[in-house]
Amino acid sequence: MCSSAAIDMTMTAGVAEGAEKLIASAERNGGVMLAELSQAELCALRGETLSLVCEPTTRWWVRLGTGKRRELGHLALDLMAIRGLLRLPPGASAIGMYEAGQLSNEHLAPELAIILAARTSPRPLVSCQVPGLDDLNWCHPRFFGMTSPGHRLRVLLCEVLTQHPAGLLGQPTLGTILRYTLMTPERTAKMIACWATAVAAGRQLGGLPATTLLAHGDQGTLDQERFQIEPGHGIFIVTRSGPDGRADPPVMLDEAGTIMALGSALTRMAQ
């Protein structure tokens, strides 16, 4: 699947109103969980083409072959309609509407619209990785920033590709599960610090946990900041690298200081 183009993510008024309620709830509470998706559900809507950090899902989808992709894509569309993630006219078929190019953003539930919109044009895009362990980096969180007019960072969509199979009887028929949460910048910074602590505590190979922030500049450039984080006994040694790749001198921060530094970087990269 599928020859149809990816869905236009300019939200209609009704979808935008529902999405705004979810974003406002995340701002009030620090975060709000959204619907889980299988890899097949994401790919059926061409979602795997919308991000630079979808290589594992893209590889899984491509390896299926054309016939299997079409079969699973149809199944995924039907499941999303049953789950209420696609809101169709009475008697309409998700598969028929998709194949006819009639499935649009107005048919998306607000949480699905948020997932696709955030992944379409994140500002910033945040990737958490452990250098030297590329075969395991698929399981680490990534974040997609959502800004308001004027580039004020409001929330970030956290995406985690799990190992939990998406299918009956524990079979990964539809791939594995992707989990999504809307988070404030502060909650995101705290999660990154917790992630670095957990990864560093269990690591035996590879380098130190690192978080990369990417955003398109006004002149079409790709701005980048990278934070290498070495946790230990309540203290973090944080090394920042700027767009030129040069590392600043490492600084020693407590947890609160690390969260503040990461939060400031998230906000700065969104502007």
pLDDT tens string 198-255: 887 655 556 789 999 999 877 777 899 999 999 988 899 999 999 888 999 999 999 9
pLDDT at 30: 97
From CA 16, how far away is CA 12, in angstroms rounded?
A: 6
Q: Three-state SS for 238? A: strand
Contact call for residues 194 and 181 (beta carbons, < 8 A): no
**Residue 182: closest CA among 21, 34, 18:** 34
Contact call for residues 142 and 126 (beta carbons, < 8 A): yes
Specify if 221 maps to a domain: yes
Helices marked H in the chain: 13-29, 39-44, 55-63, 66-82, 94-99, 110-120, 185-202, 255-270
Q: How many domains does the chain have?
A: 1
The full DSSP string for 7-42 is PP----HHHHHHHHHHHHHHHHHSEEE---EEHHHH
From CA 62, how far away is CA 167, in angstroms rounded?
A: 19
pLDDT at 180: 97
| Residue 38 buriedness (CB in 10 A; 0-12 / 13-18 / 19+) | buried
Specify if 3 maps to a domain: no
Specify if 8 maps to a domain: no
Contact call for residues 117 and 9 (beta carbons, < 8 A): yes
pLDDT at 204: 54
pTM: 0.90
From CA 72, how far away is CA 61, in angstroms rounded?
A: 10
> Going along 72-188, which residue ranges are E strands?
125-129, 142-148, 152-165, 176-183
pLDDT at 7: 44
pLDDT band, residue 58 (cuts 50/70/90): confident
Average pLDDT value for the chain: 88
From CA 207, how far away is CA 137, in angstroms rounded?
A: 12
107-142 residue pLDDT tens? 999 999 999 999 988 999 999 988 876 666 667 899
pLDDT band, residue 169 (cuts 50/70/90): confident
Which residue did the predictor score with more confidence, 191 or 4?
191
Look at residue 157 and tell me whether its pLDDT is greater than 70: yes
Angle at 86 between CA 26 and CA 79, to 5 degrees: 110
Strand partners, 37: 178
pLDDT band, residue 11 (cuts 50/70/90): low
pLDDT band, residue 4 (cuts 50/70/90): very low
From CA 181, how far away is CA 2, in angstroms rounded?
A: 27
A 10 A CB-CB count for 112 gives: 28
Range of the domain at 139: 13-270
Specify if 136 maps to a domain: yes
Specify if 2 maps to a domain: no
pLDDT at 5: 43
Which residue did the predictor score with more confidence, 8 or 83?
83
